[in-house]
Every structure is written in structure tokens, then in C-alpha cells.
């Protein structure tokens, strides 16, 4: 009743932690059995190890938070060596988020990571500055995002989900471009670009100046974008942005998502994912819904 | 580590904007070291979303028998999360995650020995539990506690019961005038422990180079359990395998000069 | 010490209500003396009267709200006849927000409204669908916004502020385009496009489906955009988006605003504007700031 | 209209999820008509921002001497603003804006006359103050109060003290079974007042066409004072000069058929 089947991801429930909010599963895995989850999305892997940005890396905002972690990760090789084997022992499907500064980085990372047996699908984080194009994000120009998708698809051994940036004028154009380029699914949304200034230092709180806004504050933007995009593409959407409970999950399904990811809420309540998974069937029962798949896009379907 | 709705047993303002909060729950049994901390959700009721993030607060002391732990925190005043916490009353519950992190290694002090405890402002609380633990092992403890001003001083008599205690204020309105580092030369010790503002810790790391020193760090946190990478700090050793430490789970207590301050 | 001087707007303090959140001043004017305000921004005037959207027109979201009022207003002529004379009797400067569905609407409205002696400056709301261009918002294409600005400037008897939409990939490009087209100032930001779905009806809460997200939730986005834009334009910025108190006002100044507007917060606390105006000098005092103009852009100035 | 931190004098659950809240303050002196409402800020403390908007709640009754007004509201349960309000305790203060809007015109009833009062669910509260006012003028009042189920019934005896009272439940678990409109033919009256769900009001407007009827409407609100245009509803008269009414300040009480339901 809460099973969902997406390319590469056969999920016994539609709830997974969002990339970057769950590291590689070790910490939350010490608190509960990761096999309870629909899937695990791991932190962005880059070709080379990255230390990330200076601290402060997070700041609180009204019903949200800003982060500028800076893609800290040990690099694809170390992830394959140290992190994926641990996840391989679990039964839970793995969605591997990958990032880069150039198209070639993505390609090399996708090749390595997608080949690993623990990985069921790739999630392409395109909210990264493209160093070869003056730092403009891959995710803000449809042609650039499409080219990247196409090239990653060409080398990936697993289905590819493209994670869209909400910081664009026309999210539907972005979605259609990556769908046409072969994406198997979409993840949306990544964080909104924001800033907070400290009144004492009179400078931005984050060492990186700007950061990504996540949490309940952005939920209305995520719902709107999924509502728009799901009507214009045929590939499934993993929805995220401010999810905190089963009600939110259902709102995302109604908007048009076929699965969901929970990010920031893990920091507020480390048990939030299993709690939602437990709450979900009860909630569907009270709604008289026998299969969660019925709800996908119901807010716009006739 | 557990998440628990702990019961408020007592809650009072013990100095200007400084509150002492006593909480009861199972969590107390899991505390292993002084200097560990808890992650407190300020907006407990009805899935409230503002303030969103938990607040890291050191465990000041704990009593296993009564299953009670004591927190001492500073209310940041209007529009901060901690101000909201001050409205919590006896009998209420508070959503707490903990115990978290690695605290002060009490066994590092080869007993009998003389320990020096140096605290500044809201860095003082975890040192009380530390001093209790050291005193219990028969170690002679001396405390040097720095505050900004007379109105900020707290827990002086509590520390005095455990050992010699020097209180200093920056503006000289109470105790000795000056900074905690001014006193170091006059106090004999074999091991030192410190918690307080980063400039203070930095000064101590520069001064105390011939004896073991442990420092407890602060960093903005999100998860508090090692998963988000918000709280990292670089190792001083450029050849360190990881190159960084997470304050929330590798710390908050580190050996002096292990990480960049 | 809190006086600011902007094109057409000599403000004894930098705080004004935001357009659409204060109607034409009658209601709040019954609660306090409007002359306490730096200025009054009036609700969007269109050439013809508009009834607006069906209800529900508002929905609450985490630390924010969605609105889809639909530019309800009695039309430029009625506003000139019934609303502006009342404001003319006050000493408070008036910033008149205008909107339209075609360039010609804006031009005609600008002509009429800018001529009125009560009006000190126009604020061009470009977050409106352009019916002649398939409903794409004027505010999302730099060339379209620039053309509109240019044409309104040509007929306006008063300085023109262009109110930018945050729903764009490149806010700096938008700002530069309208500056080049002759804008005397910028207002930013308008609302983020969002949606909320009702779990009972399983349809969007708002009759209009989508609505504009405002309130504290969007403040980090507003701060980031003002921080970016203020470094790239020379015209002043009226900052808005989630302002609730004097601390927020200072944060906007540090980011690069030269005045601020308060919208949603009026609904939470109808006395919020005079409260902020009272709080502001005290706050500056504790910061050791003698002139609020010193703070403009201090977060990025060396 | 003023904004006031009113003191909670009593707060209790009087039916399933239905709370009676007594507040004391100056505002009470300004109430002019039954059926006016107040706009309650749920997130009082420290500039809290969630829930952001105020909640409109009808004034159930008011006592000028003790400067107390009574609100009766339904807690929407988990994750609603009103649920948060249920945690308010005696002695706390609540930020209230009011009195707002135009209530029921009590003088419209040419005394002596027979008034019929029809309420449904949380539409019942303002009718209590109305009935008190009518009874005071010597008008004979009959009440027809509809609830979903036995567990939802409240204030029956209060109404009974003022006049004949029929309680109905949709599921028949208490009083008569059915809807309030079922009873209309059996009760003689000269004027009618109603508050409740829109379908109920619509049915009443269709049935009561030969006698004065006043209805109190609900609409989602932001400002509550007429400035934001959130709460508008169209007039039935297409030639009306404005073409719309704001529920918050032109209403919430309207003459039957003045506006579209
Ligand atoms: C391991 C550890 C132990 C601590 N122990 C204590 C203690 O025992 N007593 C005490 O008073 N304080 C302690 N602090 C500091 C305390 O966490 C901050 O003062 C508190 O989070 C500030 O929250 P606020 O609601 O007052 O401020 P807000 O301005 O509302 O905070 C906004 C955000 O910034 C973060 N933040 C702001 N200042 C700090 C800071 N100095 N350190 C970390 N995060 C910060 C908050 O956690 C929150 O996420 C400790 C911090 C750490 C990391
Ligand atoms: C003039 C007037 C008088 C009212 N009097 C009473 C009363 O005496 N007792 C009572 O229990 N209820 C009354 N209501 C309804 C009451 O305002 C809503 O039930 C309440 O706002 C719902 O808030 P929540 O926090 O439970 O729900 P949430 O779901 O948290 O509300 C989210 C948002 O939607 C709005 N909203 C949701 N439902 C309604 C609704 N039915 N009407 C208006 N806004 C709504 C809320 O105000 C809020 O802005 C009245 C409404 C109006 C307009
Ligand atoms: C601390 C943090 C780190 C993140 N790191 C990544 C990342 O590495 N890759 C990625 O695609 N998204 C990353 N995100 C974005 C989240 O996966 C998610 O898209 C976003 O936070 C919205 O969901 P939420 O509101 O539930 O947090 C990160 C978010 C946070 C808060
Ligand atoms: C109910 C409502 C109506 C609005 N109407 C207008 C309008 O008519 N014209 C306009 O330019 N902006 C309008 N806005 C946007 C505000 O002026 C402001 O830009 C935005 O709400 C952000 O500020 P805030 O967060 O302080 O509300 C409206 C906002 C709200 C909430
Ligand atoms: S706070 Fe998340 S890793 Fe330390
Ligand atoms: S609620 Fe704002 S006009 Fe009625």
C-alpha cells in the first residue's frame, strides 16, 4: 500500500533521507535499522576529496536553515572503499548523489559510482558552479543541464535522477530539457539561495556568504514546482523541501511526487524518517486510500 | 544516545540571563564523561518549526540516582531560541537528544595529581561536572573562572566546595580583575582542562605547552550527531588522514592543538 | 539619524508599509497617524477596476503566507477620486504601485497616477502576466522589463521604482536591465511563487492555485538578492521580504537597502510599522551608529 | 479596536476538542454588538513566527464589569495553530486584536418579538452573546443548535437559561437527529439569526425568505481589519457600487442574501 516502483528503485515505502543530510548512513544507522527506509540517498560524491567551506557553515532562519557545507566528502574512491561496502550489507536501496565542477568530473564520478553493486541509481546534483563557464550553475541553463544529463546517462550503469535547482525562472523548461536528455527521474527541489547577516559582525553569518535555504520555509515553493513540472513530464519525481511528517508526504504526492526525501527534518528529529514511515499507512487509512500511488498528482488530475 | 521528553524539575535564573535547568529522564544513565552535551529542541509543541534547529548545551552535572541532569545556559534575549526556553516551567517536558559527543578524559589525570580547570562565561558549566569527577578520584582541583562582570558570575560556591576557586571579571566588578590567563603562572598543576570563548582557548594553547591540556570547543551545529558536516574544524596536522574533526561527535573536547581554533 | 533621501522620496525614517498590505491607508490610518511613517506604499492600481481572484485568497505556511488577491482595486480613476485626496491631506510621502496586463495599461495608469500631487513616486509591479506574451511575467525577462521601464519612465511625472520579482534565475541581470532603462530605484523583493495543497479537498488551498509567498520565511532570499544587486547597481533599493522588527531593518540595510517596506508583518501586528520606527533609533544607538545611511551595504563594503 | 495582551482567567475543554477561554482586559469595554470577533495571535512569545497569522474567533459573551470576554474555539488538532492555543494556561497572556467587525443588529428586532437563533458547530458561540442581548431586551428567544455528534455538544444549559433550546446531532447520538433546518417549520419567529457552516447558511437563506435573517460568515483572513482584501465575498447585487464586501470589517454578519455564500 505504500510501495512505490521507480526506475532502479523498488521502494517498500516512499521515504528516503535527502542527500547531504544523512552522510553515508553510519550515524543514523547507529540509531535505527536503515532497512526501515525506502532508500538512502548518500551525500554528494565528487571525483576528488573536498574539505568544503570554512565555518560557520549553517545558520538558522525562520522555519528554515541555510547551509554552505561545500560538498565536503572523501571523494569517489574513498566512498567506494569505505562507505559503500557498509551500505551493500544492508538491503536498503541506495541513491548516490554526485557532483562536480566540470562535465568531466561528473562523468568520471558517475562511471565509478554507478558501477558499484550497492548503488541502485544516481542523483545528479546540478546546483554546482561550472568552473569552465564562469561559475554559472549547471542547473540554471537548460542546455547545459541537458548536455550534462546526456553525458552522464551515456556512462552510467544505473538510472539517473536529475536534481533540479529551484533558483530558476522556468523550472518546467529545466525539467523538460533533462527529460529529453534521457533523465530517468527528477529530484526536486534543491535549496533556495539565501543569506543571513549577523548584526554584531555586520557580515554574512556563513563563511561562504550565501547558503542553501532548506526546511519547512521552502515547502510552498517545492509544492508549486512539483505541481507544475509533474504535469509536463512523464518521468517520476522524488519530492523534497521541508518535509516533516506524513501530512507533508501526502501533500507532495498530491502535488505530483512519486516518492519523497527528508532533509533538514532529520536534524530536528533524528528519528523522523522511521516515524513518518510508521505514520503514513495510518494516515492513508483515515483518508480511505489503499495505495499511495493513487495520490500521485491528484491535486491536478481531473 | 536517545531522544527523550525530559521533565523539568527546576528552572531558575541564577545570574543575569543565566538559567539553571534541571531535567529528569532515562538519558542520565547513558552519560559517560563530563563535558558531553545535549541537543535541546526549543520549539517542543505541536511540530513547531521556529526556532527550527536544536541548541547544543553542555551537561553541567548529572545525578544517576535521581535521574537528573543540570544544564546552565545563557538566554540570548529577544528573538533567540534560548529566550523561548526560559519560558519552560517545572512540570513541562523538554525534547532532548543526548548524551552527545566525547567529554573530558577524566582518567588522563594520573591520580594523585593537581588539575587546573579554566572556564569562561557559559563555558563554565561542563567544568563543574568535570571537577566533581576529578575530586571524586581524589585529585586536587583548582578553578579559575572568568566572567565579564559581577552580574554574570554563577556557581562560585559550588566550585569552592570542590577546590580552590579564583573568580575573575573583565571589568573588575567582582573577584580579581582581568583574564583567566593572567593567573596561570601562580597556580601549580599537572593537567589542565578548559572551556570558554575561542580567544581564551587560543591563549591557553599558547601558554600551556608543557602539560596536558584539554579544550572544549563550540561550533554551530545542525544534526549534533556527525551526519551534516556543519561543525567541522580542521586538524592542525596537515597529514591527518581525514584532515578534519566534527565538534559534535569527535569532540567537543579535544587535546590542545589537535584542531585549529 | 534615520532620515533617508531617495529619488522623489524624502523620508524622515526609512520604514514604509509594502504595497498590497496596507490598502490605501484608511484602515491603518484609523489606528495611528500615518505621518509617523517614512512613506506609504499604496495597493497596486490598474487602469480598470479589478475584482481579483476567488477565495480562499490566503493560506498560512511555515513562517509565511501565500496570497493570491489578484490585484483587486477600484481602478486608477476611482483611486484618484476617492483614495489619493485623503492621502494628499497627510504629509506622508506616497509611493504608488501600478500594475497591468499589457504595456499600454501600465503607460496609461502611470500617466494618470504620477500626475497626482499626492504621489511622490511610482512603483512598477512587474510580477504580472503579460497577456500579449502568452502570460509570461514582465518581471522574468530582462528585455521585457527594460522596455516596460523605459516606456513608463517616458510618461511618468515622478521617479519610477521597479519592483523586482524573485522568481528569476539571474536577479542581477534583471536589476541591471531596468537600471539601464532608466529606473530611479528598485524595490525588492516581491513574493516567491508557491502553493499549498489541502489534504481534505486534495486540491490547492488557494482558488487561484498558486500564490505569492511572503513573510519571514523568504527573508534569507530577499537578503541574498539585495546583497547581490546592491553591489552591481548605483540606484537605491527599497528592501522588503519578511521584515518584522528593527533588527530585520538593519539586516536589510547591511545587505544594501536604502529604505525598507513591511508587508505581511502588518497582519500579525497592525502597529508594527510605528513600533519599528520607534525601536530603530534605540537600536542604532546601541550599535553606535549615528546615521542609518552609514549601514547601507556595509556587509559587503570593505 | 485595540491590541492587547489579555490575561487568561480560565481555560478548559468543554466538549471534544472544544475549549472555553476567558480573557480579561480593557478591550471588553469596546464591544458594541454580539457577533463581533477578535483576532488572536497564537504564537505570542518572543516574536515567534509560526504560526504566523492570527486566528479569528467570535466573542461568545462579554462581561463589562469583570472586563472579561469568553471565546469558544475548536482545536484543529495536531499541527494547527489552535492546538497551540490550547496550551495556554490561567495567568498567561494572549495577544488579542479586537473587537473587530460588525455583529448582529440587536435593535433590528422590534421588541416584543420572537427571535430564532440557529447555530451549527463552532458557529454556536457568538449566538450565546446574541441571545443574552435579545433576552435582556425582553425578546423571546428560541435556539436551534446543531452538532455533529454527542461529544461535540456544548453550552446547552447556558442557552436553556435564556430560552427554549433544541439540540440536534447529525448522527442522532444526542438530542434530535438531523439538521437544524429540519426544525424550522415548527418554531414560530419574527426574526432569525444564524451562524455555522456555509451549507447550513445557504439552506437557511433559501428557506427563510419572508422574515429578516442575519447570517455570520467565515472566510480566511490575514489582516482582520479591512486592508488586505483576503476575506472578500461578492455582493449578490451585480449593480452594487463596490461589488464586494470584506467579511472582516463589513461583516462578519450580513443581511441574508446580501452577499454570495
Ligand atoms: C558543544 C556545545 C556546548 C555548549 N554548551 C553551552 C552551555 O552549557 N551553556 C550555554 O549557555 N551555551 C552553550 N553553548 C552555546 C549555545 O549552543 C549557544 O549559545 C546557543 O545555541 C545560542 O542559541 P540562541 O537561541 O540563544 O541564539 P540564536 O541566535 O537564536 O541562534 C541561532 C542559531 O545559531 C546557533 N548558535 C548561535 N550561537 C552559537 C554558539 N555560540 N555556539 C553554537 N551555536 C550557536 C544556534 O544554535 C542556532 O542554530 C554550547 C555550544 C556547543 C557547540
Ligand atoms: C469571523 C470568524 C469568527 C470565527 N469564530 C470562531 C469561533 O468562535 N470558534 C471557532 O472555533 N472558530 C471560529 N472561526 C473559525 C476559526 O477562525 C478557524 O477554525 C481557525 O482559524 C482555524 O485555525 P487552526 O489554527 O485550527 O487551523 P490551521 O489549519 O492551522 O489554519 C491555517 C490557516 O487557515 C485559516 N483557517 C483555517 N480554517 C479556517 C476557517 N474555518 N475560517 C477562517 N480561517 C480559517 C487559519 O486562520 C489560518 O490562517 C471563526 C472564523 C471567522 C472568520
Ligand atoms: C546540510 C545540508 C547538506 C546538503 N547537501 C546536499 C548534497 O550534498 N547534495 C544535494 O544534492 N543536496 C544537498 N542538500 C539539499 C537536500 O538534499 C534537499 O534537497 C534540501 O535540503 C531540501 O530538503 P529539506 O527542506 O527537507 O532539507 C543539502 C541540504 C542540507 C540542509
Ligand atoms: C496580501 C498581499 C498583497 C500584496 N499585494 C501587492 C501588490 O498589490 N503589489 C505589489 O507590488 N506587491 C504586493 N504584495 C507584495 C508585498 O508588497 C511585498 O513585496 C511582499 O509581501 C514581501 O514583503 P513581506 O514579506 O514583508 O510581506 C502583496 C503582498 C501580500 C502579502
Ligand atoms: S552538527 Fe552535524 S556533523 Fe556536527
Ligand atoms: S482579512 Fe484583510 S481585508 Fe479582511
Residues A26-66 have pLDDT tens digits of 999 999 999 999 999 999 999 999 999 999 999 999 999 99
In this complex, the residue of C197, C250, C255 whose CB is nearest that of residue A299 is: C197
Predicted pLDDT at A24: 96
DSSP state of A82: I
Q: Distance, in angstroms, between B72 CA and closest chain C CA?
A: 27
Does A132 have pLDDT greater than 80?
no
Q: How far apart are CA C197 and CA A249, in angstroms?
A: 11
Q: How far apart are CA B199 and CA B201, in angstroms?
A: 5
Known binding residues of A are 19, 43-44, 67-71, 97, 125, 163, 189-191, 215, 241-242, 263-264
Low-confidence residues of chain C: pLDDT under 70? none
Predicted pLDDT at B178: 84
- Give me the domain span that covers residue A58: 4-295
The DSSP code sequence of C82-140 is IIHHHHHTS-S-EEEEE--SSHHHHHHHHHHHHHSTT--EEEEE--SB-GGGTT-BGGG
Tens of pLDDT along D183-205? Answer: 888 889 999 999 999 999 999 99
Predicted pLDDT at C131: 75
Question: For chain A, how many structural domains are there in total?
Answer: 1
Q: How far apart are CA A288 and CA A282, in angstroms?
A: 10
- Does residue A109 form part of some domain? yes
**ipTM associated with this complex:** 0.96
Residue B35 Cβ < 6 Å to ligand 1:
no
What b/e sequence results for C273-283 when a residue is b if at least 16 CB atoms lie within 10 Å of its CB, and e otherwise?
Answer: bbbbbeebeeb
Predicted pLDDT at D179: 80
Tens of pLDDT along D218-255? Answer: 999 999 999 999 999 999 999 998 999 999 999 999 99
Helix (H) or strand (E) holding C6: strand C4-6
Backbone angles phi, psi at A147, to 5 degrees: -60, -45
Mean pLDDT across chain B, nearest whole number?
92
Predicted pLDDT at D109: 57
Predicted pLDDT at B110: 67
Does B18 have pLDDT greater than 70?
yes
CB contact under 8 A, C247 and B79: yes
Q: How far apart are CA D205 and CA A170, in angstroms?
A: 47
CA A83 and chain centroid, separation: 19
- Does residue A92 form part of some domain? yes
Q: How far apart are CA A96 and CA A105, in angstroms?
A: 15
Neighbours of A142 (CB within 10 A): 19
- Does residue C266 form part of some domain? yes
In this complex, the residue of A23, A56, A266 whose CB is nearest that of residue B220 is: A56
Check if A21 is active-site: no
Q: How far apart are CA B55 and CA B97, in angstroms?
A: 10
The residues, any chain, with a CB within 8 Å of residue A169's CB and separated by 6 or more, are C140, C167, C168, C169
**By CB neighbour count within 10 A (0-12 exposed, 13-18 middle, 19+ buried), where does C61 fall?**
buried
**Mean local confidence (pLDDT), D43-53:** 66
The residues, any chain, with a CB within 8 Å of residue C241's CB and separated by 6 or more, are C166, C188, C189, C214, C218, C219, C221, C222, C223, C263
Does B40 have pLDDT greater than 50?
yes
Per DSSP, what are the bridge partners of residue B93? B7
The residue of chain A with its CA nearest to that of D47 is A62
Backbone angles phi, psi at B256, to 5 degrees: -55, 140
Predicted pLDDT at B243: 92
- Indicate the pLDDT class of residue D259, thresholds 50, 70 and 90: very high
Predicted pLDDT at C137: 86
Ligand 2, atom 48, lies closest to the CA of: C60
Residues A214, A265: contact at Cβ < 8 Å? no
Predicted pLDDT at D46: 43
Regarding beta strands C237-240 and A4-6, do their DSSP bridges make them parallel or antiparallel, or are they unpaired? unpaired
- Ligand 3 neighbours (beta carbon < 6 A): A 18-21, 43-44, 67, 69, 71, 97, 125, 163, 190-191, 212, 214-215, 218, 240-243, 262-265; B 222, 228
Residue C19 Cβ < 6 Å to ligand 4:
yes
Mean pLDDT across chain D, nearest whole number?
92
Ligand 4, atom 22, lies closest to the CA of: C241
- Indicate the pLDDT class of residue D112, thresholds 50, 70 and 90: low
Q: How far apart are CA B6 and CA A171, in angstroms?
A: 45
Select the residue from B44, B45, B46 to test the D interface by mutation, using most D Cβ atoms within 10 A. Answer: B46
Report how far ligand 6's centroid is from the alpha carbon of C41 (Å).
Answer: 18
Q: Where does B55-167 have alpha helices with state H?
A: 81-85, 125-136, 156-160
What b/e sequence results for B22-37 when a residue is b if at least 16 CB atoms lie within 10 Å of its CB, and e otherwise?
Answer: bbbbebbeebebbbbb
- Does residue A301 form part of some domain? no
CB contact under 8 A, A245 and D49: no
The ligand 4 atom at the shortest distance from the C-alpha of residue C19 is 17
Task: For chain D, give the percent of residues with pLDDT over 70.
Answer: 96
Between A91-100, A281-290, B45-54, C25-34, the lowest mean confidence (pLDDT) is in: B45-54
In this complex, the residue of C170, C221, C251 whose CB is nearest that of residue A194 is: C221
CB contact under 8 A, D47 and B78: yes
Does A133 have pLDDT greater than 80?
no
CATH classification of the domain holding C19 = 3.20.20.70
Q: How many residues does chain D have?
A: 261
The residues, any chain, with a CB within 8 Å of residue A214's CB and separated by 6 or more, are A64, A65, A66, A67, A191, A241, A242, A263, A264
Predicted pLDDT at B46: 43
Q: How far apart are CA B33 and CA B62, in angstroms?
A: 10
What b/e sequence results for C165-191 when a residue is b if at least 16 CB atoms lie within 10 Å of its CB, and e otherwise?
Answer: bbbbbbbeebbbbbbebbbbbbbbbbb
Task: For chain A, give the percent of residues with pLDDT over 90.
Answer: 95
Tens of pLDDT along C78-129? Answer: 999 999 999 999 999 999 999 999 999 999 999 999 999 999 999 999 988 8
CB contact under 8 A, D49 and A63: yes
Predicted pLDDT at D110: 66
- D: neighbours with 3+ CB pairs under 8 Å? A, B, C
- Give contacts of B50 with chain D, Cβ < 8 Å: 48-50
Tens of pLDDT along A187-216? Answer: 999 999 999 999 999 999 999 999 999 999
D77 conformational bin, left if phi > 0, alpha if psi -120 to 50, beta if neither: left
CB contact under 8 A, A218 and C219: no
Question: Closest by alpha carbon to C94, among C172, C22, C155?
Answer: C22
- Does residue A89 form part of some domain? yes
DSSP state of C294: G
- Give contacts of C169 with chain A, Cβ < 8 Å: 140, 167-169
CB contact under 8 A, C215 and D52: yes
Beta strands in chain B (DSSP E): 2-15, 18-24, 37-41, 55-58, 61-63, 68-74, 93-100, 114-120, 140-147, 164-169, 176-177, 191-195, 213-216, 232-234, 244-246, 253-255
**Mean local confidence (pLDDT), B128-133:** 96
CB contact under 8 A, B49 and A244: yes
Report how far ligand 1's centroid is from the alpha carbon of B56 (Å).
Answer: 6
- Indicate the pLDDT class of residue D51, thresholds 50, 70 and 90: confident
- Does residue A302 form part of some domain? no
Tens of pLDDT along D79-104? Answer: 888 988 998 889 999 999 999 999 99
Q: Distance, in angstroms, between C3 CA and closest chain B CA?
A: 26
Backbone angles phi, psi at B238, to 5 degrees: -70, -15
Tens of pLDDT along D212-227? Answer: 999 999 999 999 999 9
In this complex, the residue of A27, A244, A271 whose CB is nearest that of residue B227 is: A27
- Does residue A264 form part of some domain? yes
The DSSP code sequence of B20-43 is EEEEESGGGGG--STT-EEEEES-
Predicted pLDDT at C133: 76
Residue B223 Cβ < 6 Å to ligand 5:
yes
Which ligand number lies closest to the CA of residue B122? 1
Residues D6, D21: contact at Cβ < 8 Å? no
CB contact under 8 A, B227 and A67: no
Known binding residues of C for substrate are 43, 67-71, 125, 190-191
Longest dimension (CA), chain C: 55
B-C contacts (CB, under 8 Å) = 7
Q: Distance, in angstroms, between D214 CA and closest chain A CA?
A: 36
Tens of pLDDT along B87-129? Answer: 888 999 999 999 999 999 987 656 668 999 999 999 999 999 9
166-205 in chain D: CB under 8 A from chain A: none
- Does residue C302 form part of some domain? no
The DSSP code sequence of chain D is -EEEEEEEEEEEEEETTEEEEEEESGGGGG--STT-EEEEES--GGG--SS-S-EEEE--EEETTTTEEEEEEE---TTSHHHHHTT--TT-EEEEEEEESB---GGGS-SS-EEEEEEEGGGSHHHHHHHHHHHHTT-EEEEEEEESSGGG---HHHHHTTEEEEEEETTSSSSEES-GGGGGGGS--SEEEEES-HHHHHHHHHH--SS-EEEE-----SSSSSSS-TTEEEBS-TT-SS-EEETTTT-BEEETTSB--
Question: Closest by alpha carbon to A58, among A271, A272, A219, A267?
Answer: A267
Amino acid at each position: 500500500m505504500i510501495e512505490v516502483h521507480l526506475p532502479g528503485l523498488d521502494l517498500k515505502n516512499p521515504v528516503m533521507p535527502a542527500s547531504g543530510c544523512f552522510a553515508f548512513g553510519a550515524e543514523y544507522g547507529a540509531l535505527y535499522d536503515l532497512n526501515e527506509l525506502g532508500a538512502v540517498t548518500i551525500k554528494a560524491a565528487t571525483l576528488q576529496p573536498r574539505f568544503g567551506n570554512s565555518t560557520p557553515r549553517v545558520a538558522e532562519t525562520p522555519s528554515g536553515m541555510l547551509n554552505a557545507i561545500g560538498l565536503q566528502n572523501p571523494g569517489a574512491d574513498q566512498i567506494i572503499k569505505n562507505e559503500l561496502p557498509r551500505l551493500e550489507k544492508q538491503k536498503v536501496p541506495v541513491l548516490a548523489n554526485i557532483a562536480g565542477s566540470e562535465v568531466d568530473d561528473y562523468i568520471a564520478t558517475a562511471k565509478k559510482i554507478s558501477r558499484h553493486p550497492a548503488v541502485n541509481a544516481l542523483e545528479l546534483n546540478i546546483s554546482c558552479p561550472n568552473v569552465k563557464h564562469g561559475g554559472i550553475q549547471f542547473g540554471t541553463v537548460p542546455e547545459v543541464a541537458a548536455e550534462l544529463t546526456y553525458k552522464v546517462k551515456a556512462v552510467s550503469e544505473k538510472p539517473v535522477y536529475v536534481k533540479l535547482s529551484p533558483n530558476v525562472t522556468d523550472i518546467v523548461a529545466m525539467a523538460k530539457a533533462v527529460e529529453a536528455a534521457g533523465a530517468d527521474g527528477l529530484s526536486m527541489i534543491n535549496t533556495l539561495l539565501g543569506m543571513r547577516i549577523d548584526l554584531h559582525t555586520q557580515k554574512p553569518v556563513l563563511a561562504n556568504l550565501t547558503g542553501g535555504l532548506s526546511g519547512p520555509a521552502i515547502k510552498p515553493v517545492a509544492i508549486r514546482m512539483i505541481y507544475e513540472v509533474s504535469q509536463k513530464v512523464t518521468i517520476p519525481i522524488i519530492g523534497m523541501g521541508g518535509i516533516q511528517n506524513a501530512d507533508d508526504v501526502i501533500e507532495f504526492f498530491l502535488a505530483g511526487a512519486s516518492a519523497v526525501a527528508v532533509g533538514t527534518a532529520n536534524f530536528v528529529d533524528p528519528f523522523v524518517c522511521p516515524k513518518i514511515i510508521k505514520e503514513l499507512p495510518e494516515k492513508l487509512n483515515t483518508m480511505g486510500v489503499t495505495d499511495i500511488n493513487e495520490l500521485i498528482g491528484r491535486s491536478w488530475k481531473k | 544516545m536517545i531522544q527523550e521528553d525530559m521533565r523539568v524539575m527546576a528552572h531558575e535564573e541564577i545570574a543575569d540571563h543565566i538559567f539553571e535547568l534541571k531535567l529528569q529522564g532515562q538519558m542520565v544513565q547513558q552519560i559517560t564523561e563530563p563535558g558531553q552535551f545535549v541537543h535541546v529542541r526549543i520549539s517542543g509543541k505541536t511540530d513547531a518549526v521556529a526556532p527550527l534547529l536544536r541548541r547544543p548545551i553542555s551537561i553541567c552535572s548529572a545525578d544517576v540516582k535521581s535521574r537528573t541532569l543540570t544544564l546552565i545556559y545563557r538566554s540570548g534575549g529577544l528573538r533567540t531560541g534560548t529566550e523561548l526556553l526560559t519560558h519552560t516551567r517545572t512540570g513541562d517536558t523538554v525534547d532532548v537528544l543526548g548524551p552527545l559527543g566525547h567529554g573530558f578524559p577524566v582518567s588522563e589525570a594520573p591520580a594523585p595529581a593537581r588539575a587546573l580547570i579554566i572556564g569562561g562565561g557559559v563555558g563554565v558549566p561542563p567544568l563543574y561536572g568535570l571537577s566533581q569527577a576529578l575530586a571524586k578520584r581524589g585529585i586536587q582541583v583548582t578553578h579559575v573562572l572568568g566572567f565579564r562582570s559581577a552580574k554574570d558570575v554563577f556557581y562560585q560556591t559550588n566550585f569552592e566546595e570542590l577546590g580552590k576557586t579564583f573568580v575573575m571579571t573583565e571589568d573588575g566588578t567582582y573577584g580579581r580583575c582581568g583574564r583567566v590567563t593572567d593567573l596561570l603562572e601562580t597556580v601549580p598543576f599537572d593537567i589542565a582542562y578548559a572551556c570558554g570563548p575561542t580567544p581564551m582557548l587560543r591563549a591557553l594553547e599558547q601558554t600551556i605547552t608543557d602539560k596536558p591540556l584539554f579544550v572544549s570547543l563550540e561550533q554551530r551545529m545542525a544534526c549534533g550527531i556527525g551526519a551534516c558536516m556543519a561543525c567541522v574544524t580542521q586538524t592542525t596536522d596537515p597529514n591527518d588522514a581525514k584532515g578534519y574533526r566534527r565538534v559534535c561527535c569527535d569532540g567537543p573536547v579535544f587535546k590542545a592543538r589537535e584542531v585549529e581554533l
